[in-house]
């Protein structure tokens, strides 16, 4: 009489190294390459900044979450890890997913995995750092932050006080005025260029808009108020000071940025000032899409990233798509190439327009957020 074979169950990994290997085994080769970059004894000598090109459906969130978990499991203090996203919800989701991976790797059951205290949006992290360094940059740490609605209302009040709400030819509405101001701040471009490129119907009001923006900045200073754009502007000007840039950058061993194609020049300058050699920097993005152009986002940041630091970046491309069906995948490479070509043509045209508009005059320096508590000047 034959005895039935007993079922064979997989043996659960017993050590952290085994659990880590199990977690990494769920990734494809490109994802794993990005996750392991510069981590561990064998790879620890590679300190180049890392750019991960990841289109929709390529598992970018999983890759970034595994990298965060791998760094912490490898000994990185969560307090020294800065994770920047574009929404609070995205930051919370990244922390949740990284926590799940980390819990498996560390073998945690009932205990909660380590939190990521420096995971948040650019604006949220900027506000925290500005309050901490307020005394050193001439700010009152008890400043109030105006959201978009509050900022529009203050712009509208100043607009009315200057008599611009009752002009014969209708002056731009408060929301439009704030959008022009915001674009000047985030692109670091003179108002003349911004009007020509994005608001040509407001071109006749350049002189009045300059006066309005100057009065708007003064009103904010009098009320000890910062708007969302100021959170980036003051942060960028703060780390433009070498001593402060070194101090802030030294707080973090790793800086990871999601959706890098949606960053603007201010955000890119912050990253470069904090980590000029790119060590510990990881950015993830898709060079074929961008949804924050209204905030001055430029795909040039992701295109120029490999050569922006003192050492060239490593580029890893996630090409496998887990979301779309094969007919869509058959078309998408051509579609993505076409979008990239069109975007490059648009960038070239913008550069030519800027050169023509600038003429022989030098472009003005951008606002100085530091020095004697003077705050930011108008665009």
Which range is least confidently modeled, 14-28, 29-43, 145-159?
29-43
**Confidence band, pLDDT 50/70/90 cuts, at residue 3:** low
Span 29-62, pLDDT tens digits: 999 999 999 987 645 578 999 999 998 788 898 9
What is the residue whose two structure tokens read 């890893």?
316
Considering 12-26, 269-283, 347-361, the range whose residues carry the highest mean pLDDT is 269-283
Three-class DSSP category at 11: coil
| Count of Cβ atoms closer than 10 Å to residue 136 Cβ | 13
Mean pLDDT, all residues of the chain: 84
Span 183-238, pLDDT tens digits: 999 999 999 999 999 999 999 999 999 999 999 999 999 999 999 999 999 999 99
The answer to whether 231 and 131 have CB atoms below 8 angstroms apart is: no
What is the per-residue pLDDT for 373? 43
Residue 4 pLDDT greater than 90, yes or no: no
What is the per-residue pLDDT for 322? 67
Span 252-280, pLDDT tens digits: 999 999 999 889 999 999 999 999 999 99
Output the CA torsion sign for 123, 129, 132, 133.
negative
Three-class DSSP category at 328: helix
Tell me the two tokens of residue 104: 């498996």
- Residue 120, beta-bridge partner list: 84
What's the Cα-to-Cα distance from 214 to each of 20, 61, 218, 230, 250, rounded to whole Å? Answer: 55, 42, 6, 14, 35
Looking at per-residue confidence, does 12 or 8 come out higher? 12
**Confidence band, pLDDT 50/70/90 cuts, at residue 358:** very low
Distance of CA 281 to the CA centre of its chain: 12
Q: What percent of the chain has pLDDT over 70?
A: 78
The CA-based angle 248-252-258, given to 5 degrees, is 105
* pTM check: above 0.85: no
Three-class DSSP category at 113: coil
What is the residue whose two structure tokens read 């959008």?
179
List own/partner pairs for 135-141 with CB under 8 A and 24 or more apart.
136/244, 137/234, 137/237, 137/238, 137/244, 137/369, 137/370, 138/370, 138/371, 138/372, 138/373, 138/374, 138/375, 139/234, 139/373, 139/375, 140/224
Overall average pLDDT of the 83-101 stretch? 89
Span 164-179, pLDDT tens digits: 988 768 899 999 999 9
**Confidence band, pLDDT 50/70/90 cuts, at residue 135:** very high
Looking at per-residue confidence, does 329 or 32 come out higher? 32
What's the Cα-to-Cα distance from 50 to each of 46, 129, 279, 300, 302, rounded to whole Å? Answer: 10, 24, 9, 16, 11
**Confidence band, pLDDT 50/70/90 cuts, at residue 63:** very high
With a CB cutoff of 8 Å and minimum separation 6, the contacts of 155 are: 174, 177, 178, 181, 212, 216
With a CB cutoff of 8 Å and minimum separation 6, the contacts of 301 are: 260, 261, 263, 264, 265, 267, 268
Residue 151 pLDDT greater than 60, yes or no: yes
Which range is least confidently modeled, 23-37, 139-153, 314-328, 350-364?
350-364
Q: What percent of the chain has pLDDT over 90?
A: 60
What's the Cα-to-Cα distance from 376 to each of 133, 146, 148, rounded to whole Å? Answer: 16, 15, 18
The answer to whether 61 and 49 have CB atoms below 8 angstroms apart is: no
**Confidence band, pLDDT 50/70/90 cuts, at residue 352:** very low
């Amino acid at each position: 009489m034959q005895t039935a074979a007993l079922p064979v169950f997989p043996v659960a990994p017993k050590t952290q190294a085994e659990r880590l290997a199990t977690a990494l085994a769920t990734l494809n080769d490109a994802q794993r390459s990005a996750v392991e970059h510069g981590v561990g004894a064998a790879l620890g000598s590679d300190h180049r900044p890392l750019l991960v090109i990841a289109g929709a459906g390529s598992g970018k969130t999983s890759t970034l979450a595994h990298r965060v978990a791998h760094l912490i499991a490898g000994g990185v203090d969560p307090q020294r890890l800065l994770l920047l996203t574009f929404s609070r919800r995205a930051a919370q989701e990244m922390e949740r997913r990284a926590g799940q991976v980390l819990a498996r790797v560390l073998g945690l059951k009932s205990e909660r995995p380590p939190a990521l205290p420096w995971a948040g949006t650019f604006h949220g992290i900027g506000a925290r750092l500005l309050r901490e360094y307020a005394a050193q940059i001439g700010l009152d740490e008890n400043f109030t932050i105006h959201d978009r609605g509050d900022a529009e209302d203050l712009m509208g009040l100043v607009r009315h006080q200057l008599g611009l709400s009752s002009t014969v030819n209708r002056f731009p509405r408060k929301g439009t005025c704030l959008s022009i101001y915001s674009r000047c701040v985030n692109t670091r471009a003179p108002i003349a260029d911004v009007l020509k490129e994005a608001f040509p119907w407001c071109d006749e009001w350049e002189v009045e808009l300059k006066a309005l923006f100057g009065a708007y900045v003064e009103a904010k200073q009098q009320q000890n108020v910062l708007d969302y754009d100021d959170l980036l502007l003051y942060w960028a000007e703060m780390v433009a000071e070498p001593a402060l840039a070194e101090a802030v950058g030294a707080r973090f061993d790793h800086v990871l940025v999601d959706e890098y194609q949606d960053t603007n020049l201010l955000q890119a300058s912050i990253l470069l000032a904090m980590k000029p050699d790119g060590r510990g920097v990881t950015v993830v993005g898709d060079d074929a899409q961008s949804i924050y152009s209204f905030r001055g986002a430029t795909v040039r940041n992701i295109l120029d990233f490999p050569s922006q630091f003192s050492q060239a970046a490593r580029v890893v491309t996630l090409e496998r798509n887990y979301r779309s069906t094969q007919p869509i995948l058959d078309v998408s490479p051509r579609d993505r190439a076409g979008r990239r070509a069109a975007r490059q043509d648009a960038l070239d045209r913008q550069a030519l327009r800027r050169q023509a508009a600038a003429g022989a005059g030098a472009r003005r320096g951008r606002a100085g957020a530091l020095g004697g508590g003077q705050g930011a000047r108008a665009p």
